Amino acid sequence: MPFFGELYGNPSSAYSIGAQAAEALAEARKTIASLLGAKSGEIYFTASGSEADNWAIKGAAQALREKGRHLITSKFEHHAVLHAMESLERDGFEVTYLDVNENGIVDPAALEKAIRPDTTLVAVMLANNEIGTIQPIAEIAEIAHRHKAVCFTDAVQAVGNIPVNVKDLGVDMLALSGHKIHAPKGIGVLYIKTGTRVRTLIDGGGQERGRRGGTENVAFAAALAKALSIAVERMEDNARVAALRDRLADGLLARIPYARINGDREKRLCGNLNISFEFVEGESLLLWLDKNGICASTGSACNSASLEPSHVLLSIGLPAEKAHGSLRFTLSHENTEEDVDYILDTLPGIVQRLRDMSPLYNSSMARIADVAVRG
């Protein structure tokens, strides 16, 4: 990483190592633009995906507030989007939160019904971060534009996992984050289509063509460009990863009664599996999995500081008690069939063990054949 050493220059300065940093930044911008089907001048570096979400939503809402004060989003967006919307509600904007269907998809017809002449912004995520479902953004953007509204998509979970082209999607703004694609934490991008009116969120010294103040993080921008290039190359492996994911999903459903997959099985990211097990709680599943060397996550309240179950799982109609028993597995190109089979050998026993001590589980219910738990 030369940008922490010999190329430490500030890209805005006149000295030569500054120029080299500026060149590296321009190169990173160009790479990212070309991978997204955008122009270099439409790529803005931010400090995170959350900043990009906040900038897009607050910036567009404020820039267009004379035209209207109605915004539309969905119920299962990332909190960076939902909380930015709530902040705008406190400032006098009106927000419609679209329902998500039981498969975890936002229905474009619902948008068509909710959109009004004073709607200025439609913000729907490209792929959900918990259940991996991919949204019909091209259709959503078309509806937004027909009603003269701006369309923003939070593509943090999608970029690097599925092909993302801003022209094909037809969006005016798109947010992405570095750490989701193995770049360092603390770098994000907001794509802003030329001509889109967005008020500046961070005022400062004229960086990012005067639209986002703060000295650019050259090293992380370069890392993000590299990480995105690698992620796009690895998409060749998506079909194999999806096959592994399906092997895991089908295997768990076959071995464990009272289980269900959360989210559409087809329209979802290749590496995502979100599955609920009745009568048990997610954090205790995670602790046992961790003891067996398996890392997963859960939508249970017990795993969060808020003590509320996942708003994503509730949005697709899961009752709270089933949301508590959810697990999310994320598979990547590095995973193998052996990894999947190891989970299939390990998890059923863990679920049975916890069900056996659950007051919700009746011992006469269908049992899992193999109840041995390793560790």
Partner 1 sequence: MYSEKVIDHFTNPRNVGEIPDANGVGEVGNATCGDIMRIYLKIDDNGIIEDAKFKTFGCGAAIATSSMATEMIRGRSIEEALSLTNKAVIEALDGLPPVKVHCSVLAEEAVKTAVADYYRRRGEEVPAAAIVCDGCCEACAHKAQEE
In angstroms, give the least distance from the CB of 277 to partner 1.
12
Taking CB under 8 A as the rule, does residue 320 contact partner 1?
yes
Binding residues for partner 1, how many (CB under 8 A)? 28
For the residues of 32-65, what is the DSSP string, one character each? Answer: HHHHHT--GGGEEEES-HHHHHHHHHHHHHHHTT
Among 3, 55, 220, 288, binds partner 1 (CB under 8 A): 288
Residue 162 and residue 239: Cα distance in Å, rounded?
11
Taking CB under 8 A as the rule, does residue 289 contact partner 1?
no
Among 31, 133, 303, 310, binds partner 1 (CB under 8 A): 303
In angstroms, give the least distance from the CB of 299 to partner 1.
11
Query: What is the b/e burial string over 175-191, where b = at least 16 CB atoms within 10 angstroms of the residue's CB?
Result: bbbbbbbbbeeebbbbb
Among 26, 230, 287, 365, binds partner 1 (CB under 8 A): 287
Residue 339 and residue 345: Cα distance in Å, rounded?
10
Among 279, 297, 318, 349, binds partner 1 (CB under 8 A): 279
Taking CB under 8 A as the rule, does residue 257 contact partner 1?
no
* Residue 62 · residue 71 · CB < 8 Å: no
Half-sphere exposure of residue 236: CA atoms within 13 angstroms, side-chain side: 4
Bridge partners (DSSP) listed for residue 45: 189
Using CA atoms, how far residue 141 sits from 185, 233, 283, 332, in Å, is: 29, 27, 38, 30
Query: Of 151, 270, 295, 302, which is the active-site residue?
Result: 302
Residue 282 and residue 285: Cα distance in Å, rounded?
5
Mark whether 302 is an active-site residue.
yes
Taking CB under 8 A as the rule, does residue 239 contact partner 1?
no
The CB density around residue 136, as the number of other CB atoms within 10 Å, is 17
Stretch that binds partner 1, among 14-22, 40-48, 181-189, 319-327 (CB under 8 A): 319-327
Amino acid code (one letter) for 132: G
Scan for tokens 């770049």, then name that residue. 183
Would you say 62 or 300 has its CB closer to partner 1?
300
Burial class (CB in 10 A: 0-12, 13-18, 19+), 16: exposed
Half-sphere exposure of residue 345: CA atoms within 13 angstroms, side-chain side: 10
Amino acid code (one letter) for 95: V
Scan for tokens 């030569």, then name that residue. 16
Would you say 91 or 308 has its CB closer to partner 1?
308
Would you say 142 or 356 has its CB closer to partner 1?
356
* Residue 164 · residue 125 · CB < 8 Å: no
Among 188, 271, 309, 349, binds partner 1 (CB under 8 A): 309
Contact flags string 341-370 toward partner 1, x per CB under 8 A: ---------------xxxxxx---------
Would you say 206 or 375 has its CB closer to partner 1?
375
Taking CB under 8 A as the rule, does residue 253 contact partner 1?
no
Amino acid code (one letter) for 303: N
Amino acid code (one letter) for 335: N
Stretch that binds partner 1, among 44-52, 102-110, 150-158, 273-281 (CB under 8 A): 273-281
Would you say 84 or 301 has its CB closer to partner 1?
301
Stretch that binds partner 1, among 20-28, 83-91, 173-181, 303-311 (CB under 8 A): 303-311
In angstroms, give the least distance from the CB of 326 to partner 1.
11
In angstroms, give the least distance from the CB of 20 to partner 1.
44
Would you say 106 or 368 has its CB closer to partner 1?
368
Would you say 59 or 309 has its CB closer to partner 1?
309
Taking CB under 8 A as the rule, does residue 211 contact partner 1?
no
- What's the angle, vertex CA 32, arms to CA 122 and CA 329, rounded to 5? 70
Taking CB under 8 A as the rule, does residue 372 contact partner 1?
no
Taking CB under 8 A as the rule, does residue 9 contact partner 1?
no
Q: Which residues bind partner 1 (CB under 8 A)?
A: 279-284, 287-288, 291, 300-303, 305, 307-309, 319-321, 324, 356-361, 375
Q: Which residues are catalytic?
A: 302
